[in-house]
Amino acid sequence: MASKGILETRQFDKKFASLLEEYGKHTYAELFRVLAHIELSPSAAEAQWREVARHQTELSRKMGRTVDIRVAMLDHFLSVRKKLKNPTILEFRVYQATERSSMQDELTGLYNYRYFNQTLEREFRRTTRYGGVLSVAIFDIDNFKLYNDQNGHVAGNTVLYKIARIMRSKVRDVDTLARYGGEEFACIFPETTKQGAMMVAERIRHAVEAASFPFANRMPGGKVTISGGVATCPFDGKTATLLLENADRALYLAKGEGKNCIKTFLTETRSFTRVPARIVGQYRLLSRHTGQISTKNLSKNGLLFEAKAPMPIGSIIEMTVKLTPRKSVSFKSSVVRVESGKGDRYDIGVVITKISAYDRKVLDHFIETHSGED
């Protein structure tokens, strides 16, 4: 029968392996920081951990019994590395509580900025390695400084806490929701298209708008509201950092268009000049149906048009656009943006994925000759 010491060591090893799988190399640094009050970089902590493991093996051999890894760590830094003068003994349950607090926001109970960024990096690597999609959203409470100035920080904290609860009720267990800083929140949506993330973000926005908050009548419009921005990998960023920055740009757009709305990052508008163009054309959603469109603007890389029904993000569309009475261009495109427009219309943004050399030349010439128009 295994001794109590061996059982405890196995339990520690199992828990540590779980933490390592979830948080990566940052686990090593956190372990040394909490158990030994030693600050190390993740890579240095990993190297030190190997030394502690070897020291544990050597101690166990000399003493003829299994030595707990925490005892080995203490002896290693007292006798070998001599980094500790007044060591603190800490039970693992205390470490678990500390570990939880290190990744949670104290006020809202959501994950914090640090944990969110670590998770985003991990999810981004997984998505780019195995394929699929990954969406992120950033939310900001509209006019929150005004609310705090008028009603005080206690009331402001109540708003933060309640909005956090609303958000948590609208996302899945697999999503990572965090208080990103101040009045900003952020969420990671694994295996979620831009359209799917937009739907969730809109549900959150509507729920906040409909909720009751203290002193809401003093706010513009008599309500507490939020704005948000959504970006999706692989369309909107080649790195996790760029993906988040582009979600933030979409949030900035939402703020600039009157607040209390959700916007998506527009991939098709970042690298090419757009020109206003009310052009009649046709599209064929492959294996689905055909219909007429009226474009809002046009660029060398894509276009924005109105449609009567939404289209799934990533859909491939065959399009023919009549630029002049005598000239039309045809191309294949992919849907990258879907938003509710006026009435029962939808704004559909697409990027051109395949076009003939001749049609490319015609389209480029049209854009260049109309680029100075309002």
DSSP state of 322: E
- The β-bridge partners of 298 are 275, 303
Given 183, 257, 306, 368, the catalytic residue: 183
Whether 171 and 259 share a structural domain: yes
Give 241's contacts (C-beta < 8 A, 6+ positions apart): none
Is the entire prediction scored with pTM above 0.85?
Answer: no
Whether 53 and 124 share a structural domain: no
Domain boundary residue, one of 101, 129, 150: 101
Whether 260 and 207 share a structural domain: yes
Least confident of 21-25, 37-41, 125-129, 288-292: 288-292
Q: Are residues 323 and 297 in contact, defined by beta-carbon separation less than 8 angstroms? A: no
The answer to whether the peptide bond before residue 220 is cis (omega within 30 degrees of 0) is no
According to DSSP, the β-strands at 226-233 and 262-264 are parallel
Tell which residue, 298, 231, 248, has the closest CA to residue 268. 298
8 labelled catalytic: no
Whether 226 and 342 share a structural domain: no
Q: How far apart are CA 267 and CA 246, in angstroms?
A: 9
Residue 85: inside a domain: yes
In total, the chain counts a number of residues equal to 374
Q: Are residues 139 and 201 in contact, defined by beta-carbon separation less than 8 angstroms? A: yes
Average pLDDT over residues 137-164: 95
CA 48 to chain centre: 32
Q: Name the residue range of residue 169's domain.
A: 113-265
CA 19 to chain centre: 21
Half-sphere exposure of 365 (CA within 13 A, CB side): 11
Whether 121 and 205 share a structural domain: yes
| pLDDT surpasses 70 at 83 | no
Q: At what angle do helices 240-256 and 113-130 cross, to 10 degrees?
A: 110
Whether 119 and 258 share a structural domain: yes
Residue 77: inside a domain: yes
Residues of the chain with pLDDT > 70, as a percent, come to: 80
Q: Are residues 332 and 300 in contact, defined by beta-carbon separation less than 8 angstroms? A: no
- Each residue's pLDDT tens digit, 122-146: 999 988 888 888 999 999 999 999 9
Whether 154 and 32 share a structural domain: no
Whether 251 and 144 share a structural domain: yes
Number of domains in the chain: 3
Distance, first Cα to last Cα, the chain: 83
Q: Are residues 110 and 187 in contact, defined by beta-carbon separation less than 8 angstroms? A: no
Whether 157 and 295 share a structural domain: no
Whether 28 and 151 share a structural domain: no
| pLDDT surpasses 90 at 183 | yes
- Each residue's pLDDT tens digit, 300-349: 778 888 888 887 766 778 889 888 888 899 988 877 777 777 777 888 88
Q: How far apart are CA 300 and CA 268, in angstroms?
A: 9
Sheet containing 226-233, strands listed edge to edge, beginning at the edge strand earlier in sequence:
176-181, 184-190, 134-141, 226-233, 262-264
Whether 73 and 41 share a structural domain: yes
302: CATH: 2.40.10.220
